[in-house]
Amino acid sequence: RRALRAIAQGELITAARVSDWGEKVTIAQTLGANTRAMAISVDAQSAVGGFVTPGDFVDVVMTQGGNDGMRTVTILQNIRVVGVDQSSNEETDSPSVARTVTLEVTPDQGQRLALAQRAGTLSLTLRDPNAAEDTELSAISLDDLMMLEPPAPVETAAEAPAAAPAPVRRSVVIRRAGVASTEEF
């Protein structure tokens, strides 16, 4: 039998901490119920400069588009890192630049993550372990970042409001005893 996780000196050894007889010890034993391990490609910039280690919690941000159409959105929040490159040792605290990070996700989150990898560039944001609840984050675009107001719509002749009509002058011709006079109103 082998230890599934680090066991501190003096700590009680329970069945949950060790493998069964002859069982291979893999990352799968560290996953929670109904979760999967999924790896994503990262580099120094997208993996918080190498400070992401197994056991950390991260948010996954996707950036897509180009030039003026660039936008970014947080697609997953509070996701546990189960491995960095080939290491799943949570006792490791030294930063290293990784090429892959393995995340613990639900099947639905795994689908979102797979699609996001194809649709844009993924980055990780390291979370405070004592952070409060997740907040709803909306997508932002380059215009939002630059705080630009959208241009005023250009009105075409068909869309332009009609000018106030000129007052219509009406007149009446009045005849009295053969004399005609015109009254305007």
The per-residue pLDDT for range 80-98, each reduced to its tens digit, is 988 887 655 555 555 556 6
Model pTM score: 0.60
150-173 per-position pLDDT tens digit: 555 656 555 656 666 666 677 777
Residue 127's pLDDT band (cuts 50, 70, 90): confident
Residue 166 main-chain phi, psi, to 5 deg: -65, 140
Would you call 15 exposed, middle or buried from its count of C-beta atoms within 10 A (0-12, 13-18, 19+)?
A: exposed
Name which of 45-54, 61-70, 118-127 the model is least confident about.
45-54
Structure tokens at 111: 């689908």
Closest CA relative to residue 173, chosen from 185, 163, 183? 183
Structure tokens at 95: 């930063």
